[in-house]
């Protein structure tokens, strides 16, 4: 009976988590690989996020506690290397017979927004970017490689530019 109630709860909540997780995946486009897992008594999606500064794995799991009296949502975030404080694990447990869709929606929204903030902070953090920072030779501005608007090959070296304009200026002054 409880197992049937759990499966019914999964069906009811699919329309809460699916659009949120699909929107997250859409924002990252080709930089994310989402792997859903559907098992009896458990639903999970693991998202591997491509980043030039770290290996990132985000997992959301929905299941019941051991005696199938509570519906449990879990959030797990793995970042390697981890150079800043992040929420690595969170859980929400609700009585199986009193699952509140709005509470679940709010919890998911908070985890997703928190993850996006962490992701953006990582890409602005000097420790993560240390090996990714380059100098635009024209503008004399330091920028992360992934933010370069243009690149040029100069022998074995790659030059990075903050804009197409500085790349074009470089081309004009180095066309000899």
**Looking at residue 90, which CATH number applies to its domain?**
3.90.1150
Task: Enumerate residue ranges in the chain where pLDDT < 50.
Answer: none
Same-domain pairing of 116 and 29: yes
Same-domain pairing of 116 and 140: no
Q: How many domains does the chain have?
A: 2
Same-domain pairing of 169 and 110: no
Entry pTM: 0.74
Question: Which pLDDT belongs to residue 176?
Answer: 58
DSSP per-residue codes, the chain? -HHHHHHHHHHHHHHHHHHHHHHHHHHHGGGEEEEEEEETTEEEEEEEE--SS-EEEEEEEEEE-TTS-EEEEEEEEEEES--S----EEEEEEEGGG--HHHHHHHHHHHHHHHHHHHHHHTT-HHHHTTTEEE-TTT--EEEGGG-SEEEEETTEEEEESSHHHHHHHHHHT--
Question: Which pLDDT belongs to residue 94?
Answer: 97
Same-domain pairing of 47 and 122: yes
Domain hosting 78: range is: 2-126
Question: Which pLDDT belongs to residue 82?
Answer: 79
């Amino acid at each position: 009976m409880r197992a049937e109630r759990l499966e019914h709860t999964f069906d009811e909540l699919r329309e809460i988590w699916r659009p949120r997780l699909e929107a997250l995946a859409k924002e990252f486009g080709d930089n994310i690989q989402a792997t859903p897992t559907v098992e009896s008594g458990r639903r999970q999606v693991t998202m591997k996020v491509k980043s030039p500064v770290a290996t990132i794995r985000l997992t959301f799991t929905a299941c019941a506690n051991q005696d199938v009296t509570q519906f449990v949502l879990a959030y797990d975030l793995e970042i390697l290397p981890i150079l800043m404080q992040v929420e690595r694990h969170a859980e929400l447990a609700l009585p199986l017979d009193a699952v509140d869709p709005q509470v679940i929606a709010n919890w998911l929204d908070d985890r997703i927004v928190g993850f996006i903030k962490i992701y953006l902070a990582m890409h602005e953090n000097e420790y993560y970017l240390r090996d990714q920072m380059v100098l635009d030779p024209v503008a004399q501005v330091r920028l992360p490689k992934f933010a370069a608007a243009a690149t040029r090959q100069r022998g074995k070296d790659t030059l990075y530019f903050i804009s197409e304009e500085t790349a074009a200026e470089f081309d004009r002054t180095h066309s000899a």
